[in-house]
Amino acid sequence: MCYMYLDAARRSGGRGREQINTHVFICDADLLHVFSLVPRDLNFIDHTSDLGWKEDQRVCQIVVDPQLYLVTRYDIFHASERRPTPNAFKFFTGSPWLILSRVFVDFLVLGWDNLPRTLPMYFTNVLIANEGYFPTLICNSVDFQNKTVNSDLRHMVWDTPSKPMPHYLGVEDYDKMLESGYAFARQFKEDEPVLNKIDKRWGDPCSSWGDPNVLKPGPQAKRLGALVSKLLANGTLESRQCV
């Protein structure tokens, strides 16, 4: 199982946190303990084929990112032409934060099927392509579409009516974050006090050492374990795969 702390904290010099997109809400030992009990061929990837507003603004819109071709950074620009929703494959969208199995990563890199090689040509001209590429690839691959868990294990709160980005989390959200069992939480404002509270609770994982061969799960491991068990329960897993 490959897990990555993507955009956990972006820092600039000695100025502290500049932007916090996703913050880890569990220590490594607890996370490893839970995943040691999960089938290793599963992929935690939030996805849906219900495109909603994204069909018009992401799927049919054609964009060009100069950074793909030039060293100098330029803004993305939008083409005047549009294209129809593809019918050669089913388009899925979802979260850009993933926990992928080793076998699926090998499939991405080695591309023994034609799909991992052809989809990038289409997604080169899609805005925020990482929200669509991975869900579309896995859900159009016969070998992997039944190896998905429809969750990115992130605690998020959405405003009503829903906005493109989730609600900024604060101290008042701490208890709900803790009880949710999710391994990650997003998003936070710069120097939000709750971040210090989270860091203080989990501490510096490098400040003390024990037996590296022994994992001792804590309370948060039990919460995450209960959440994962619910996601993998009979009926729940299959009913939410690639729909």
Q: Where are the domains of the chain?
A: 2-239
Pick the more confident residue, 180 or 66: 180
Greatest extent of the chain over all pairs of C-alpha atoms, in Å: 60
List 2's β-bridge partners, or say none. Answer: 100
Report how far residue 178's alpha carbon sits from residue 175's, in angstroms, rounded to the nearest whole number. Answer: 5
The two structure tokens encoding residue 101:
């199995």
Report how far residue 169's alpha carbon sits from residue 157's, in angstroms, rounded to the nearest whole number. Answer: 8
Q: What is residue 236's three-state secondary structure?
A: helix
Place of tokens 């037996």: 211
Phi, psi of 124 (to 5 degrees): -55, -30
pLDDT for 191 equals 82
Place of tokens 């499939």: 107
**What's the rounded mean pLDDT across residues 202-226?**
75
Report how far residue 135's alpha carbon sits from residue 163's, in angstroms, rounded to the nearest whole number. Answer: 21
pLDDT for 144 equals 95
Pick the more confident residue, 61 or 215: 61
The pLDDT tens digits of the residues spanning 80-114 come to 999 999 999 999 999 999 999 999 999 999 888 88
Half-sphere exposure of 108 (CA within 13 A, CB side): 14
pTM for the whole structure: 0.84
Confidence of residue 3 (pLDDT cuts 50, 70, 90): very low
